[in-house]
Amino acid sequence: MTVSQTYSFFLGCVMPNRFPNVEKSIREVLPRLGIHLEELEGASCCPAPGVIRSFDEPTWLALASRNLALAEKAGHDIITGCNGCYGTFKEALHIVHEHPEKLRDVQKVFKGLGLRYRAEADAKHLIEVVYDLGPDAIREKVVRPLDGLEVAVHYGCHLLKPSVLRPWKKSARPTFLDELVEATGAHSVKYKDKFQCCGAGGGVRGSNVPVSVDIAQEKIDNVLEAGADCVLNVCSFCHLQFEMSQAQLNKELGEERYRLPVVYYTQLLGLAMGLGPKELGLHKHVVSTEPVLRKVLG
């Protein structure tokens, strides 16, 4: 399929239900970069790569393919702002491309739905599309450089792995997201175990919350030790993990010890582009973003 700058926007489950403020920042910022979003009517859960697939892969594949088929019908590639959804779609496309018999099985399921599917629409993460524009192009959009802001970049697991199915330059320590952060004028800080999981994926947060929060706490402690003003993510589930884990830790400790702002990339970029906090949903976070806003806006 020919890649255009218009995409079918796949929201996923977490973002519209828990973080419409993050969704708002995406809808405000991407069109200003020439990346246009069309609604993906009738979309369902992706579904999650590390959960449903473990129980019933054919059903998981059919559900994932249905979302891709809706984008294909619309004539666009699919774009998402969730690493887990991105991982699902990349895996599903790989499977049907490598195993034509599985594509035929999916097509049989769709026959009764009146839905055609040839696996021609690609799946993109929004940060992939932004990076394709290039850090220099992002700098040209900056009217309010975020000088002095110390940002701890969190990539997230499904954005990077498995590397064979990802478009990034093969590296144990990628830099593409750091480059996009620094294009805003902010500084990407080094911190211990930067590429460690947030602790939510693979069903961990759903099945064992204490273990999940413990993993998040270790990462947040590393970020705080590095002196970062905020932790930045590009995944709605990582966003949930960092915000909710701090709330849970503070409740357990009986004090507000953890107050590290959690910021999505389009919120950071939107600030650098001159947009206001309310336009970017920065006033609706579980963990207050006021420290970041004071540093940026004065």
Tens of pLDDT along 215-254? 999 999 999 999 999 999 999 999 999 999 999 999 999 9
Q: Which of 220, 212, 169, 170 is nearest to 194 (CA)?
A: 220
Cα Rg of the chain (Å, integer): 19
Confidence of residue 2 (pLDDT cuts 50, 70, 90): very low
In a 13 Å sphere around the CA of 207, the CA atoms on its Cβ side amount to 6
**What pLDDT was estimated at residue 204?**
83
> What's the average model confidence in pLDDT over 58-63?
96
pTM equals: 0.95
| pLDDT tens-place string over residues 89-141 | 999 999 999 999 999 999 999 998 889 999 999 999 999 999 999 999 999 99
Evaluate whether 250 touches 281 at the Cβ level (below 8 Å): no
- Chain centroid to CA 139: 21
Share of the chain above pLDDT 70, in %: 99
Planar angle of CA 15, 19, 24, nearest 5 degrees: 90
Please report how the helices 83-98 and 57-74 are oriented relative to each other, as an axis angle in degrees rounded to 10.
Answer: 100
| Cβ atoms of 141 and 191 closer than 8 Å | no
Q: What is the pLDDT of residues 144-158, one digit of tens each?
A: 999 999 999 999 999
Q: Average per-residue pLDDT in the chain?
A: 95
Percent of the chain with pLDDT over 90: 89
- Asked if the peptide bond before residue 16 counts as cis, ω within 30 degrees of 0, the response is no
Specify burial of residue 100 (Cβ count, 10 A radius: 0-12, 13-18, 19+).
exposed
Segment (H or E) for 187: strand 187-188
Higher pLDDT, 131 or 53: 131
Lowest pLDDT segment from 12-16, 30-34, 88-92, 202-206: 202-206
Q: Which amino acid is at 166?
A: R
Least confident of 24-33, 42-51, 103-112, 177-186: 42-51
**For residue 8, pLDDT beyond 50:** yes
Q: Are strands 230-233 and 187-188 parallel, antiparallel or unpaired?
A: unpaired
DSSP code, position 278: T
Structure confidence at residue 100 (pLDDT): 97
Nearest CA-CA partner of 177 in 131, 240, 129, 133 = 131
pLDDT of 144: 98
Please list, residue by residue across 35-51, b when 16 or more beta carbons sit within 10 angstroms of its beta carbon and e when fewer do: bebeebeebeebbbbbe
Structure confidence at residue 4 (pLDDT): 45
Confidence of residue 208 (pLDDT cuts 50, 70, 90): confident
The model's confidence at residue 48, banded by pLDDT at 50, 70 and 90, is confident
- Write down the pLDDT at residue 1: 37
pLDDT band at residue 202, thresholds of 50, 70 and 90? Answer: confident
Contacts of 187 (CB under 8 A, 6+ apart): 148, 149, 150, 151
Domains of the chain plus CATH, in order, are 6-125 (1.20.1050.140), 142-297 (3.40.50.11810)
Residue 3's pLDDT band (cuts 50, 70, 90): very low
**Nearest CA to 130 among 110, 159, 90?**
159
Give the whole-angstrom CA distance, residue 104 versus residue 118: 9
